[in-house]
C-alpha cells in the first residue's frame, strides 16, 4: 500500500502528517517508529493523523504518536500545522476550527498572511500563523507527587499533557537531566521537562526534553507551560515570547478566563509517498 504524507514543522518541531479521511493507517504506533527514524525513514519527531471528528462538537480530529510510538495527548505545534493544512489544502474554509484531541477540543484560529488579498502571489490561500486556545492550565505542587520532594525546584503544569518547568541559568541541562527527569518516579506516566531562562529583554529561552521524543526544536505545550510558570512565579507578565531552538512562540495568558493562547508559525516542508504495510 502506498501512503501519501506531508512533512510539516512548527518552529522546527517536525511531524509526518497523514490525512486519514482519505486513507487508513492500521498500525500508527509502528509506523511512527519506523517513519520517524531520521536515518532510515522519513525523519520526524513523530506521526500525526488528521481525521474526521466522531463528535458533532468538533470539525476534525488529531491523533499524535511520538517517535518512540507512544501516543501523546496533545501537541501545540502539530495543532497549528493542522490548522494550516486544513485551510490551505481546502478541507475547510473556516477560519476558526474545532479540533478534537485526547486532551479535549481545541479551538484553532487561522491568521492569514495577507488579510487584504487573502492569498499569495499565485492566488492561493496562505496562512501566516495559527493561534490555538489551549484552555486553562492545571497546576500541581511537586510535593503532591510521590517522591516529588526529590525533584529539582520547578513547577508542574498540565496543558492537557504533563510538564515540569525548571528555571535555570543553563538551559542546556536538558541534554543530561531531561531523560532522567522524564522517568522520575514522581511521574508514573512520564513527563515533558522544560529548562527555562529569563533573558535580559524579558523573553524566555527554553529547551525541552519531550516525553517520548527527546530534545526537540520546539514544543508548543511546553512553551505554554513555561509561560504559565513564569507568570505564576512573578518572572513574567501575561504575555511572553518563548525562544526555542527552532524559533519563537507568543503566549498570552488571557486575563478574563485564564485561557492560554499560543500563536506561532506553521510551515509545509514537502509532500511524499511511502510504501507501507501499516
Domains and CATH numbers, the chain: 2-135+264-275 (3.10.310.10), 138-258 (3.10.310.10)
User: Annotated catalytic residue: which of 75, 81, 191, 224?
Assistant: 75
Distance CA 104, CA 110 (A): 19
pLDDT of residue 145: 85
Looking up cell 535555570, which residue turns up? 168
* Cα–Cα nearest to 243, from 197, 275, 277: 197
The Cα-based distances of 262 to 44, 58, 220 in angstroms read: 22, 19, 8
CB 205 within 8 A of CB 243: yes
pLDDT of residue 125: 74
**Burial letters for 3-13: b for 16+ Cβ neighbours within 10 Å, e otherwise?**
bebbbbbbbbb
Q: What is the pTM of this model?
A: 0.91
Chain-centre distance for alpha carbon 161: 10
Tell me if residue 81 is catalytic.
no
Tell me if residue 191 is catalytic.
no
User: Annotated catalytic residue: which of 191, 219, 224, 248?
Assistant: 219
Residues of the chain whose pLDDT is less than 50? none
pLDDT of residue 120: 58
pLDDT of residue 92: 97
CB 42 within 8 A of CB 272: yes
The angle subtended at Cα 157 by Cα 161 and Cα 264, nearest 5°, is: 70
Amino acid at each position: 500500500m502506498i501512503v501519501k504524507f506531508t512533512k510539516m514543522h512548527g518552529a522546527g518541531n517536525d511531524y509526518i502528517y497523514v490525512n486519514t479521511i482519505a486513507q487508513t493507517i492500521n498500525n500508527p504506533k509502528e509506523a511512527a517508529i519506523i517513519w520517524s527514524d531520521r536515518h532510515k525513514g522519513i525523519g520526524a519527531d513523530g506521526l500525526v493523523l488528521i481525521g474526521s471528528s466522531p463528535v458533532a462538537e468538533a470539525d476534525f480530529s488529531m491523533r499524535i504518536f511520538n517517535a518512540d510510538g507512544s501516543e501523546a495527548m496533545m501537541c501545540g505545534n502539530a495543532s497549528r500545522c493542522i490548522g494550516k493544512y486544513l485551510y490551505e489544502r481546502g478541507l475547510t474554509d473556516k477560519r476558526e476550527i474545532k479540533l478534537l484531541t485526547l486532551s479535549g477540543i481545541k479551538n484553532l484560529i487561522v491568521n492569514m498572511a495577507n488579510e487584504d488579498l487573502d492569498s499569495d502571489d499565485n492566488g492561493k490561500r496562505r496562512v501566516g500563523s495559527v493561534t490555538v486556545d489551549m484552555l486553562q492550565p492545571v497546576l500541581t505542587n511537586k510535593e503532591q507527587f510521590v517522591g516529588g520532594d526529590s525533584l529539582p525546584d520547578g513547577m508542574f503544569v498540565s496543558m492537557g499533557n504533563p510538564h515540569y518547568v525548571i528555571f535555570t541559568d543553563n538551559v542546556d541541562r536538558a541534554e543530561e537531566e531531561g531523560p532522567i527527569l522524564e522517568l522520575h518516579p514522581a511521574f508514573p506516566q512520564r513527563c515533558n521537562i522544560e529548562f527555562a531562562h529569563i533573558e535580559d529583554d524579558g523573553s524566555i529561552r527554553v529547551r525541552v526534553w519531550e516525553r517520548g521524543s527527546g530534545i526537540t526544536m520546539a514544543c508548543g505545550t511546553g512553551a505554554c507551560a513555561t509561560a504559565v510558570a513564569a507568570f505564576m512565579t512573578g518572572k513574567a507578565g501575561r504575555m511572553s515570547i518563548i525562544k526555542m531552538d527552532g524559533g519563537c512562540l507568543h503566549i498570552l495568558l488571557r486575563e478574563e478566563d485564564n485561557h492560554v493562547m499560543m500563536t506561532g508559525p506553521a510551515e509545509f516542508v514537502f509532500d511524499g509517498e511511502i510504501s507501507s504495510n501499516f
